[in-house]
Each structure stands twice: as structure tokens, then as C-alpha cells.
Amino acid sequence: MILFTISAILLCRRDFASYGLKSEDYGASAEDRVALGLTLVAGAGLLRLLGVQHQPGIKPPTMIEGIIYAVASLGAVVLFCWLLIRQGAILGRVPTLVAVLVLLAVVCAPLVVAVNYHRPVAHTLFTVLWLAFGAGCGEEIFYRGYIQSRVNESFGRPFRFLGVQFGLGLLVSSLLFGFLHALNSVDYFEGRFTFAWGFCIANIFTGLFYGCLRESTGSVWAGAVTHATLDVLVIVPGLSGP
């Protein structure tokens, strides 16, 4: 996904900045971006306390669990938009160093759990790196960076919700993102074609949250940090289980 996006931008001679792939600040400070990322991480922790979890490759979420994820993600979207309006009074109080340290602690949590439960540390480290850079960053660069930006180029961003300007790109990228994850339970080589529709519904709404991060900051990196952190966090229950 990363190679496709970069290749398409280079071949079409387009500007990387218009696809959210520049490191410059687009109107949101580092404190705001990291604090916004922690919003969905906190939601994931709440789902864990409620016993709702997904272990990739083991058991896809049921439709009920998918709906719970969807409601939680939709709530995160509304909370995010509200925080965006109040960012000067709320998010500005979060020091960058503190927010970064909290995120690093969350990312390192699987390694700590692996050591504590005598799991293979090297395998856990490679899994964390893959989820963070391959899945988290890769999917954000493709779905929010390329697809969302390309659709917005064609149809514009005529809508506005609680301070977030968006267009059809947000909806299209979220739908495709959700339908892709419905294939998580499909194994073509073993002839298993059971679609994880609960996971599909959950990720459509999660995609809306990542898409809002893309629209509000002008960059994919806030969503990439959030996405990578959540993907890493989701493997913790499997490491601490039987």
C-alpha cells in the first residue's frame, strides 16, 4: 500500500503535501495531534475492560461486538470534533513530552507483557513493528492519504461537522477500509470464505475517526500514530491469556 501510493504520486507528478505525506505542521500542534490520538486509545482500553476484544487470526468479532466497536468509534469521532473546537483550552495543556511518553509506553506494553508471561520476545517485537509500520502506517497512507485525497480532489469537501471540513473522500475511504477488514477471516488457500461482517462494521466507523484526523490536520501522520498504537494494543490480551 505504501509503495503503490508513493509510486502513483510520483508517476502522476503530484504533490506529496496534497496527500498528507509531508511532515510540516498543518495547523495542529504536536500536543494536539498526540492528545487526539490518545482519545481512541482510551476508547480501546474501555473496550478491553468491557471484555470486547479481537485477536487477529483466532476469532473475528461477532456482529454484536462489531456494533459495540462502531458505537465506540462513532463516539470517539464526536468527542474528537468537540476537542478540536476546545483544543485551545484543553489539548494545549498537554505537554508534548508527556503525551509522547504515554504513547511510547502503550506501544511497549506488548513487550512488557511478553516478558512477564514468558512469551517469545523477538516474535512479539517483530509483530509490534509490523503492526506499527506495515499495518498502521501503511493503511493510513493508502486509505486516508491516497484514496481519501483523490476522491476529495474530484468532489471537493463541501460538508462541515463541528469544525471538521470533509467530503465524499471521508465516506469512501471509510467504507473501503471496513470492507477490506471483512476479509480478515477469509482464507483462500484453505477454502474458508466466512466474512467478518462485525469487524467490517467496526472498522467503517473507526475509519471515520482516522479520516477526521486526516481532514483536520491535513496530514496522515496523526491517524498513523493512532492506528499503529491501537493495532499494537490489541495483541496484549492474547499475550496475557492462556
Contacts of 196 (CB under 8 A, 6+ apart): 60, 61, 181, 182, 183, 184, 185
Pairwise CA distance, residues 242 & 235, whole Å: 13
32-59: per-residue pLDDT in tens?
A: 555 555 555 555 555 555 554 445 444 6
- Percent of the chain scored above 90 by pLDDT? 19
pLDDT of residue 116: 86
Of 207, 216, 135, 217, which is closest to residue 171 (Cα–Cα)?
207
Query: Over 70: is that where the pLDDT of 155 sits?
Result: yes
Q: What is the pTM of this model?
A: 0.77
Query: Over 50: is that where the pLDDT of 27 sits?
Result: no
Grid coordinates of 96: 508534548
Pairwise CA distance, residues 146 & 15, whole Å: 11
Query: Over 60: is that where the pLDDT of 181 sits?
Result: yes
Of 105, 85, 83, which is closest to residue 94 (Cα–Cα)?
83
Q: What is the DSSP letter of 188?
A: T
| Of residues 218 and 82, more confidently modeled | 218
